[in-house]
Copies of this chain bind each other. A is one copy, B any other.
Amino acid sequence: MSELHVPAIDTVAIDAVLAALADPIRLTLVRALIAAEDWTCGSDVLRSTGITIGRSTLSHHLKVLREAGLIQTRVQGTRRLVALRHDDLTRRFPGLLELVAPPAAAPTEPGTSTPTA
Binding site for B on A (CB under 8 A): 10-16, 18-19, 21-22, 24, 27, 93-96, 98-100, 103, 113, 115-117
Contact = CB atoms under 8 A, between A and B. Distances in A.
The quantity of this chain's copies bound in the complex is 2
B116 A15 contact: yes
Nearest to A116: B13
Contacts of A103: 13-14
Contact of A100 (B16, B18, B19): B18
Contacts of A12: 115, 117
A117 B15 contact: yes
15 contacts: A10-B113, A10-B115, A13-B115, A13-B117, A14-B100, A15-B24, A15-B116, A18-B18, A18-B21, A21-B22, A22-B22, A93-B99, A95-B95, A95-B98, A96-B99
